[in-house]
A and B are shown apart, each in its own frame.
Chain A
Amino acid sequence: MAKEIQVLFIDDESDIIDSMKRLFMREAYGVAGVTRIEDARRVLSTEKIKVVVSDQRMPEMEGVQFLKEVKQQHPDSIRILFTGYTDITAAEEAINLGEVYRFLTKPWKSSELVSTIRQAIEHYDLVIESRKRKEELEIAHKRLKEMYEMQKEFTSTVSHELRTPLASIKTAIDLVIKRMVGDINAEQQDILERAKRNVDRLKRLIDDILDLMKIESGRLQMNFQSHDLVRVVQDAVEFHKPFAQSRGLALTLEPDPTVAPFVFDSDRITQVMNNLLNNAIKFTPQGGVTVKIENHIQGNHALVSIKDTGKGISEEDLPKLFRKFQQLESATENQEGGTGLGLAICKEIVTRHAGKIWAESRPGEGSTFSFLLPLEERRNS
């Protein structure tokens, strides 16, 4: 089987060409040898030549001149000047001008010559390969950018198109339930309450999906500023007191006043607190919820934990908690109907703060959800 011709030798002395052909006979690639410029041009145009080795002193044209021509026609080819010591200056000049990759001297050492050609082929392959990779990367980058734009467009369109009709449905139901357009009886009220619960759930779901898409795509603008964590947690606890009371639950806060203000996004941490508190209250039939703030200066973080006296979470369910749309069976029994995205959003938010969030629980012994936030800035926003 004929080997793919990758190397071209040109030398006006046919003896040299013959010895080259012999020398490279056992190589994995094929070698073409010619004595005339015209033949060299023909080989270059028909074969995929990686390396061109040209004699310097030829009657038709100087080697440097010929290689210059090769460079113009086949800029990727590796060009080597084959020359006696007397022409070294010309060779060096050619190398400096970028016309020639390197030169080989006559008389040559067979092993050196073969290894130089091998290296040249390798070099050629590497250059082509890395160019291919670069092109692939550029295409992938461009595609990613397009997808990002599409998602952005999609997100805001979906948001608008879903929320608009939902606003009408919700307002219509609320108007009637609130008896702003006349009285309704208990049965009608009950029916509409059910519709309302589900519309509100759909609204939360849309909000959560958009939120998560925004956070995951890295488009969520975090607003990192110095805040008092105790204050932020306290506000969230106060906000949930009526809800806890309506369930007959105690909601207590054990703050650590030594936590000095540090940098975090207070709106987003409030969102995390609201999620965790809402879950804790929702899934605790009796007893209470205790929120603790601890200052771990040595560990460079503040720890917030929300402990409830609910029925707890089984060991196999614990790892599923922070995944998307992973509502535990016990949770779906609940009337409130969460979106299954709340904890996934919490995780993203805490992660963006370079913090950590996790849950500990044993069935029958309640659950504790904790998150820690670094006190020193070391997040990338």
Chain B
Amino acid sequence: MTGAAKNILLVDDDTDLQFLVKTTLSCSGFCVETANNGLEALTRLSSFQPDLIVLDLNMPQMGGLEFCRRILDETGRLRYQVLIFTARANVENISQTFPISGFMSKPFEIDDLLREVNRITAAKA
């Protein structure tokens, strides 16, 4: 990885998994901030510019889909790169609803997650 570390906002209400994924990404050289739901993530965005948002779907207060809706711009594109990160079944077609950058189902292989995260953050640079 060249240049400054990429910023990732990890949004997940499962604190154990949040800790483990944060560890995984931090160990791989990413700078990770966390939020427990969509609402918290929105607040976090006012002071943090992520290169990628890793986003769970089922969360209290504000889920991933509503969060996506909130970060749409006027042209219907997402203001940030978003990697959907969910244990839900039958949501593979979510990319038809929102122009997401990637999809990762839980449980996941660490290598697969890192490959996706690297691909998306590299493409943006």
Q: What is A's interface to B at a CB cutoff of 8 Å? A: 155-156, 159-160, 163-164, 166-172, 174-175, 178, 180-181, 199, 203, 210, 214
Q: What residue of chain A has the Cβ atom nearest to residue B110's Cβ?
A: A174
Q: Are A180 and B24 in contact (CB under 8 A)?
A: yes
Q: In the docked arrangement, what's the CA distance between A159 and B89, Å?
A: 6
- The B87-115 residues at the A interface (CB cut-off 8 A) are 87-90, 105-110
Which residues of chain A come closer than 8 Å to B107, judged between CB atoms? 163, 166-167, 169-171, 199, 203
Q: Is the beta-carbon distance between B89 and A181 smaller than 8 angstroms?
A: no
Cα(A174)–Cα(B107), bound, Å: 11
In the complex, are the beta carbons of A171 and B17 less than 8 A apart?
yes
Expressed in whole angstroms, the minimum distance between the Cβ of A232 and any Cβ of chain B is 19
Report whether A171 and B88 are in contact in the complex, using a CB–CB cutoff of 8 Å: no
Given A164-B17, A168-B17, A180-B23: A175 and B110 interface contact (C-beta under 8 Å): yes
- Flag if B17 contacts A167 (CB, 8 Å): yes
Q: List 6 A-B contacts (CB under 8 A).
A: A163-B105, A163-B107, A164-B106, A166-B107, A170-B107, A175-B23
Contacts of B58 in A (CB 8 A): 160
A-B CB contacts (within 8 Å), total count? 61
Q: Provided the pairs A168-B14, A168-B16, A168-B20 are in contact, do residues A156 and B106 lie with their beta carbons within 8 angstroms?
A: no
Name the distance in Å between A157's Cβ and chain B's nearest Cβ.
10
The complex places the Cα of A174 from the Cα of B23 at a distance, in Å, of 12
The distance from the CB of A40 to the nearest CB of chain B, in whole angstroms, is: 64
Contacts of B1 in A (CB 8 A): none
* B21 lies within 8 A of chain A by Cβ: yes
When the two chains form their complex, are residues B27 and A174 in contact, meaning their CB atoms are under 8 A apart? no
Q: Which residues of A contact B110 (CB under 8 A)?
A: 171, 174-175, 178, 180
When A163-B106, A164-B106, A167-B106 are in contact, do A156 and B17 touch as well, CB less than 8 Å? no
The residue of chain A having its C-beta at the shortest distance from the C-beta of B26 within the complex is A180
Write out the residue numbers on chain B whose beta carbons fall within 8 Å of the beta carbon of A164: 14, 17, 87, 106
A-B pairs, top 8 by smallest CB distance, nearest first, are A163-B87, A167-B106, A167-B107, A159-B89, A171-B20, A170-B107, A168-B16, A180-B27
Residues of B within 8 A of A159 (CB): 87-89
By a CB distance below 8 angstroms, the chain A residues around B109 are: 174
In the assembled complex, the CB of A170 is this many whole angstroms from the nearest CB of chain B, namely 4
**Least CB separation from A199: chain B residue:** B107
A167–B104 Cα distance when bound, in Å, is: 12
Query: CB-CB < 8 A to A199: which residues of B?
Result: 107
Interface flags for B1-32 (1: CB within 8 Å of A; 0: not) read: 00000000000001011001101100110000
A164 CA / B86 CA spacing, docked (Å) = 8
Q: How far is the CA of A160 from the CA of B107 in the complex (A)?
A: 10
Q: Which residue of B lies closest to A164 (CB)?
A: B87
Instruction: Add 14 more A-B contacts to A155-B89, A164-B14, A180-B24 (CB < 8 A).
Output: A156-B90, A159-B88, A160-B58, A160-B88, A164-B17, A164-B87, A166-B107, A167-B87, A168-B16, A170-B107, A171-B17, A174-B110, A175-B20, A175-B110
Give the distance to chain A from B110, nearest Cβ to Cβ, in Å. Answer: 5
Question: How long is the Cα–Cα vector from A320 to B81 in the complex, in angstroms?
Answer: 49
In the complex, how many angstroms separate the beta carbon of B50 from the nearest chain A beta carbon? 21
CB distance from A348 to the nearest CB of B (A): 17
A169 cross-chain contacts in B, Cβ below 8 A: 107
Q: Kindly report which residue of chain A lies nearest to residue B57, judged by CB atoms.
A: A160
Residues of B within 8 Å of A203, CB to CB, are: 107
Complex CA–CA separation, A168 to B23 (angstroms): 12
How many whole Å from B16's CB to the nearest CB in chain A? 4
Task: Specify which chain B residues have a CB less than 8 angstroms from the CB of A160 in the assembled complex.
Answer: 58, 87-89
| B21 CB to nearest A CB, Å | 7
Q: How far is the CA of A307 from the CA of B21 in the complex (A)?
A: 42
Instruction: Let me know if B89 and A171 touch, CB within 8 A.
Output: no
Whole-angstrom distance from the CB of A209 to the nearest CB of chain B? 11
Shortest Cβ gap from B113 to chain A (Å):
9
CA gap between A171 and B110 in the complex, in Å: 7
B41 to chain A minimum Cβ distance, whole angstroms, is 19
The docked-state distance in angstroms from the alpha carbon of A160 to that of B105 is: 10
> CA separation between A175 and B106, bound complex, in Å?
15
Chain B residues with CB under 8 Å of A166's CB are 106-107
